[in-house]
Amino acid sequence: MGLFSRGPQFCAVCKKELGHRHKPKREWNIKGRLCGDCHFEKSRDYYEGKVRQECAACKKVFKVTDLWEPRWQWDMDGLLCKGCFDAKEEEHGRRRSYCSSCGAKMGFVRYNPKPKWKMEGQLCRRCWDSKKAEMG
């Protein structure tokens, strides 16, 4: 008689006992293993765009295949729709090239605010100097 170290496993979707186990793709948000039928159906749903997910910014639901992964610099979870992705990218681009205090366009020379000023973005020389005088 064979000794089985593990008990039977069941499909995460239909709960059928598994013979051959299929690994779900990470994007499907499924824990566990799938039977052949469910795996086939899930991958078909996915490629036909039936798998939907909320955009992390506007909370509207989109096909997963239409969502974009945020850039790592944005430090956010989830996926973004094209509109929110573009808006984010623009916002970050703008934040990079304009003084976050007076809004003046900055050249290559920007100044990082001191952490204790609790400001986001970067500053032009003039604003940095006046912040420094004001906050130390």
Q: Does 18 bind Zn ion (CB under 5 A)?
A: no
- Candidates 1-9, 64-72, 90-98, 121-129: pick the segment binding Zn ion (CB under 5 A): 121-129
Those residues whose C-beta lies under 8 Å from the C-beta of residue 69, and which sit 6 or more positions away, are 79, 80
Count of CB atoms within 10 A of residue 122's CB? 20
List 24, 42, 99, 122, residue binding Zn ion (CB under 5 A): 99
By the rule CB under 5 A, 14 interacts with Zn ion:
yes
Is 106 one of the binding residues for Zn ion (CB under 5 A)? no
Total interface residues for Zn ion by CB under 5 A: 16
Q: Which is nearer to Zn ion, 113 or 127 (CB)?
A: 127
**Tokens matching residue 107:** 């050249």
Under the binding rule (CB under 5 A), the answer on residue 58 touching Zn ion is yes
Candidate list 33, 70, 88, 101; residue touching Zn ion; CB under 5 A = 101
Q: Is 57 in the site for Zn ion (CB under 5 A)?
A: yes
Q: From CA 130, how far away is CA 20, in angstroms rounded?
A: 69
